[in-house]
């Protein structure tokens, strides 16, 4: 292959670039016509010679290809452009192909969902697609994936043997005990299906309503000196832990098997950080203490719910930061009473830090509402200095 010098003029470079852009936009096999740029007399002559016809306002790409192939510049238009210094990129073609494949996968997913008997299936698959659950899956993988979702839903619908573990469900139906772990595509798709079927928004509650329990033994709630009444297993366990001087971890498994009971009016303090429970045990504090260990998990919420139902008075204290205030609001709405969590307490903590010369961390995010003490939101948003709960020790426990 060779390129005549007459085709390498600056004028014609603009033309070759225009042709290249056309092929990239519409595909290397596309033809049609492009607008001719202004050309010098020499370039017009070279182009006429190449096409073997007079020039018009536009250029026929099929005729251009024929001329370039005849001169042995390349075996086709794209190859000739590469020889002319204007290689046609396949990136846009690949993008078009990927878009087409994604569209086909979405259409297949909607077609499969439309064959389901559930009236909510159409809305569910649209939600799954919007959330990106199917992203990166081709048609065959979409077919397999939705078939597995269907298998899980059918198993839940037909199972009447009592609650089952989500781990067992995944292993039995999908072959892997981790196939329904939180954060997986499968868990996201099935949880959305349960939400459409049963309503609600909390994923854990949805699984529970479907007769599936999540992990019952990890992420226990940490406690100290819980004043449990009665003679059930947890009451004896709490008494033994107190006698041994050690904090007690309570799992969902234990709380579901032995719901806690306390004397109505029992006062219990709930703290965000486990260090407070540790300090209470170290000093043999008489204050009953529970730690949420950050954002309250399911075991924490189960224990707090049982205590509130039994008539306990629960007072909450957490970090003065945006996350801590959000946790406080969440627990207040559950029935806990914020304690030493007002604007006055925050100002006092800042003043104490200033006296001590302590440099407090800065909070980058604006706080949410603090309905138990509205001025706190304004004060904290203005200061944005974080006061961790541990700075209040030992005044938090007795």
Q: Please give the pLDDT value at position 271.
A: 98
Residue intervals of the chain classified under CATH 3.40.1360 are: 221-392
Average pLDDT for 36-43: 89
Residue pair 311/264 in contact by the 8 Å Cβ criterion = yes
The pLDDT value recorded for residue 163 is: 73
Using an 8 Å Cβ cutoff, are 204 and 197 in contact? Answer: no
Mind listing the pLDDT tens digit for each residue in 256-294?
A: 999 999 999 999 999 999 999 999 999 999 999 999 999
Confidence of residue 150 (pLDDT cuts 50, 70, 90): very high
Euclidean distance between CA atoms 49 and 99, whole angstroms: 41
Say whether pLDDT at 92 is over 80. no
Mean pLDDT of 76-102: 84
Q: Is the dihedral of CA 256, 260, 261, 266 positive or negative?
A: negative
Q: Six-digit token pair at 357? A: 């010369």
pLDDT score at 298? 82
Buried/exposed code over 100-114 (b: 16+ C-beta within 10 A; e: otherwise): eebeebbebbeebbe
Both tokens of residue 321? 């930061």
* Confidence category of residue 162, pLDDT binned at 50, 70, 90: low
CATH number of 221-392: 3.40.1360
pTM: 0.64
> What spatial distance separates the first Cα and last Cα of the chain, rounded to whole Å?
92
Q: Residue 160 pLDDT > 60, yes or no?
A: no
Residue among 213, 114, 126, 202 at smallest CA distance from 162:
213
pLDDT of residue 1: 62
For residue 201, the model assigns a pLDDT of 60
Task: State residue 205's pLDDT score.
Answer: 72
Query: Up-side HSE of residue 152: CA atoms within 13 Å toward CB?
Result: 32
Q: Examine the pLDDT at 202 and tell me if it is beyond 70.
A: no
Residue-wise pLDDT tens digits, 93-132? 777 778 889 999 999 999 999 999 999 999 999 999 999 9
Instruction: Check residue 347 and give its pLDDT.
Output: 97
Average pLDDT score, the chain: 92
Q: How confident is the model at residue 231 (pLDDT cuts 50, 70, 90)?
A: confident
Which of 5-9, 168-172, 358-362 is the least confident region? 5-9
Q: Per mean pLDDT, which range of 26-30, 73-77, 140-144, 309-313 is the poorest? A: 26-30
Mean pLDDT of 311-318: 98
């Amino acid at each position: 292959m060779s390129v005549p010098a007459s085709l390498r003029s600056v004028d014609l470079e603009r033309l070759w670039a225009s042709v290249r852009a056309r092929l990239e936009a519409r595909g290397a096999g596309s033809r049609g016509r492009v607008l001719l740029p202004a050309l010098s007399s020499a370039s017009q002559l070279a182009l006429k010679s190449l096409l073997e016809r007079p020039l018009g306002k536009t250029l026929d790409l099929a005729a251009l290809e024929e001329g370039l192939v005849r001169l042995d510049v390349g075996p086709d238009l794209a190859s000739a452009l590469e020889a002319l210094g204007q290689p046609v990129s396949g990136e846009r073609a690949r993008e078009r192909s990927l878009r087409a494949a994604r569209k086909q996968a979405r259409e297949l997913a909607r077609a499969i969902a439309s064959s389901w008997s559930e009236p909510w299936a159409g809305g569910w698959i649209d939600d799954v697609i919007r959330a990106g659950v199917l992203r990166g899956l081709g048609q065959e993988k979409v077919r397999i994936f939705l078939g597995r979702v269907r298998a899980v839903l059918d198993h839940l619908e037909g199972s009447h043997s009592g609650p089952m573990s989500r781990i067992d469900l995944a292993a039995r139906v999908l072959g892997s005990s981790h196939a329904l772990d939180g954060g997986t595509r499968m868990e996201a798709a099935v949880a959305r299906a349960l939400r459409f079927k049963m309503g609600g928004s909390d994923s854990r509650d949805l699984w529970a309503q479907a007769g599936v329990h999540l992990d019952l033994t990890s992420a226990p709630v940490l406690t100290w000196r819980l004043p449990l009444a009665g003679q059930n297993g947890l009451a004896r366990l709490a008494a033994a832990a107190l006698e041994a001087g050690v904090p007690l971890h309570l799992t969902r498994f234990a709380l579901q098997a032995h719901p806690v009971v306390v004397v109505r009016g029992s006062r219990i303090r709930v703290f965000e950080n486990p260090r407070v429970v540790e300090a209470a045990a170290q000093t043999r504090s008489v204050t009953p203490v529970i730690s949420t260990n950050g954002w309250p998990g399911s075991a924490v919420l189960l224990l707090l719910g049982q205590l509130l139902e039994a008539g306990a008075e629960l007072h909450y204290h957490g970090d003065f930061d945006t996350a801590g205030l959000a946790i406080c609001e969440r627990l207040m709405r559950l029935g806990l009473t914020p304690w030493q969590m007002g604007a006055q307490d925050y100002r006092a903590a800042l003043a104490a830090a200033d006296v001590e010369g302590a440099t407090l961390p800065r909070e980058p995010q604006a706080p949410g509402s603090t309905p138990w003490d509205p001025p706190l939101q304004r004060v904290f948003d203005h200061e944005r200095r974080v006061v961790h709960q541990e700075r209040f020790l030992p005044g938090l426990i007795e």
